[in-house]
């Protein structure tokens, strides 16, 4: 999703104030170290990619203890400095909810987080959001999906706590999601998507 200029930019907020405003708002609001960010909708391509990823994840994880969620569920890192709505996420095992969130719309133990890149969000998705997500000790993998080309990038937390990187490109490629021990064919991620000539 894309950040837009919003009416909350004039001051800083506490986490409690953030939840009060988020509960009363029809818009999705994210929290970043005292700032509240209003999120805008994505493009048709963005929406189709997310739907494809969610469908593939659910089909492959149906008989496992993992749950697949869309962007209506928030993620909080280990600290209270960032609350975000990833494009997709997976929680394996028992869900842990932020105790401050009475509506139980914020999990603190994601296994996999997926973000679909756009021109306006790529810097944030690769930067401060990634740094916030990896502070969730449960996070095993962070997946970045390109919107304008058949490219998927995976950051995987290894047993020693270091991160390894894998790059998958082209509709014939198959991304191995090591955190879930499943394969994600890019042909399915980009199914029915019209990509610019020469970038598939």
Contact yes or no for 89/75 (Cβ under 8 A): yes
DSSP 8-state assignment for residue 152: E
| CATH classification at residue 76 | 3.90.1570.10
The pairing of beta strand 151-157 with beta strand 82-84 = unpaired
Do the domain assignments include residue 123? Answer: yes
pLDDT digits (tens, 9 = 90+) for 28-84: 999 988 999 888 777 899 999 999 999 999 999 999 999 999 999 999 977 778 999
Residue whose C-alpha is closest to residue 90's, from 61, 131, 118, 119: 61
The C-alpha atoms of residue 155 and residue 164 are separated, in whole angstroms, by: 6
Do the domain assignments include residue 3? Answer: no
Do the domain assignments include residue 4? Answer: no
- Which residues in the chain come in under a pLDDT of 50? 1-5
Range of the domain at 172: 43-189
Question: Which pTM value belongs to this model?
Answer: 0.91
Total domain count, the chain: 1
Do the domain assignments include residue 49? Answer: yes
Q: What is the pLDDT of residue 147?
A: 93
The C-alpha atoms of residue 133 and residue 131 are separated, in whole angstroms, by: 6
Q: What is the pLDDT of residue 5?
A: 43
């Amino acid at each position: 999703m894309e950040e837009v200029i919003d009416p909350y930019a004039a001051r800083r907020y506490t986490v409690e104030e953030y939840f009060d405003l988020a509960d009363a708002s029809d818009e999705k609001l994210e929290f970043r170290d005292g700032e509240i960010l209003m999120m805008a909708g994505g493009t048709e391509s963005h929406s189709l990619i997310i739907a494809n990823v969610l469908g593939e994840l659910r089909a492959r994880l149906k008989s496992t203890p993992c749950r697949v969620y869309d962007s209506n569920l928030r993620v909080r890192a280990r600290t209270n400095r960032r609350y975000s709505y990833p494009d997709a996420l997976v929680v394996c095992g028992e869900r842990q909810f932020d105790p401050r969130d009475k509506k139980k719309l914020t999990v603190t133990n994601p296994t996999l987080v997926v973000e679909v890149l756009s021109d306006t969000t790529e810097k944030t998705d690769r930067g401060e959001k990634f740094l916030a997500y990896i502070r969730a000790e449960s996070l095993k993998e962070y997946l970045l999906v390109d919107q304008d080309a058949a490219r998927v990038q995976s950051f995987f937390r290894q047993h020693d706590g270091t991160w390894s990187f894998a790059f998958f490109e082209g509709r014939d490629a198959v991304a191995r999601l090591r955190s879930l021990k499943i394969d994600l064919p890019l042909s399915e991620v980009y199914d029915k998507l019209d990509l610019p000539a020469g970038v598939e």
